[in-house]
């Protein structure tokens, strides 16, 4: 007999189902030889700008990237990303504030993923529940912009702890907003010791070389 409230049990079952779908996806991605990275952050941290730049640079280098982008209401991000000429699918979640593995499964229906080198998944802007949902990705990036405050990692430790790579965005604005780089970096490291960190600007391209080198190391050819 369970002493857990029903709502907790329902939630646990949803997560268990999500994990199963995510595991299936991960196996499919691996067989297809596509490297999958998901992006989480607060709204306005620059996920879409970062992704647009990433898709454009990868296309220029002859890679075949694609993106799935989640948003509560609009398809604006997908339209913006489509300018890169990469295949892009929008998932409009309505009131749901995160993506689930089954949504990724549906979004990529009709794509031959073996034709892709990279798949990027932009999660809904939210630093809370996306941490609980495995999407079958190889790595999860957590973005933190210099305009947000250096203590974000301390306020939302779970999402930083569930990520594999921290990306500090809008670095071109660091001086203007008196961004405390050392504090941000040490807060990230205190939550997730040893997590690799990148600092970059999608606007000036500063730091994008290191990101491209990282991706190239995942899909050597």
Interface residues with Mg ion (CB under 5 A) are 47-48, 77
Question: Residue 48's closest CA among 74, 28, 29?
Answer: 74
Q: In angstroms, what is the minimal distance from the CB of 69 to Mg ion?
A: 7
Nearer to Zn ion (CB atom), residue 32 or residue 96: 96
Residue nearest to Mg ion (CB): 48
Cβ within 8 Å of residue 47, ≥6 positions away = 39, 41, 122, 123, 125, 143
Q: Closer CB to Mg ion, residue 21 or residue 52?
A: 52
Residue 98 binds which entry of Zn ion, Mg ion, none, with Cβ cut-offs from 5 to 8 Å by kind? Zn ion
100 binds, among Mg ion, Zn ion, none (CB under 5 to 8 A by kind): none
CA-CA distance, 157 to 62, in Å (whole number)?
Answer: 37
Beta carbon nearer to Mg ion, 21 or 143: 143
Q: If contact means CB under 5 to 8 A according to the sort of partner, which of Zn ion, Mg ion, none does residue 52 touch?
A: none
Which residue ranges make up the site for Zn ion (CB under 5 A)? 97-98, 129
**Residue found under tokens 């996920």:** 47
> Do 39 and 166 form a contact (C-beta atoms < 8 A)?
no
Distance CA 215, CA 221 (A): 12
Q: From the CB of 77, what's the least distance to Mg ion, in Å?
A: 4
């Amino acid at each position: 007999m369970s002493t857990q409230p029903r709502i907790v049990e329902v939630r646990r079952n949803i997560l268990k189902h999500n994990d199963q779908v995510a595991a299936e996806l991960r196996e499919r991605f691996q067989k297809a030889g596509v490297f999958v990275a998901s992006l989480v952050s607060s709204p306005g941290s620059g996920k879409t700008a970062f992704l647009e730049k990433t898709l454009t640079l990868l296309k220029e280098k002859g890679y075949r990237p694609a993106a799935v982008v989640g948003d509560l209401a609009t398809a604006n991000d997908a339209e913006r990303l489509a300018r890169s000429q990469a295949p892009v699918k929008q998932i409009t979640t309505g009131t749901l504030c995160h993506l689930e593995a089954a949504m990724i499964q549906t979004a990529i229906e009709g794509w031959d993923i073996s034709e892709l080198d990279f798949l990027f998944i932009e999660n809904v802007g939210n630093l809370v529940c996306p941490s609980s949902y495995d999407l079958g990705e190889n790595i999860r990036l957590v973005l933190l912009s210099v305009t947000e405050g250096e203590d974000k990692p301390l306020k939302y430790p779970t999402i930083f702890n569930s990520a594999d790579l921290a990306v500090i965005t809008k670095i071109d604005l660091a001086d203007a907003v008196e961004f405390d780089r050392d504090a941000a970096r040490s807060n990230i490291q205190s939550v997730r010791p040893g997590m690799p960190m990148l600092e970059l600007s999608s606007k000036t391209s500063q730091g994008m070389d290191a990101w491209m080198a990282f991706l190239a190391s995942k899909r050597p050819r």
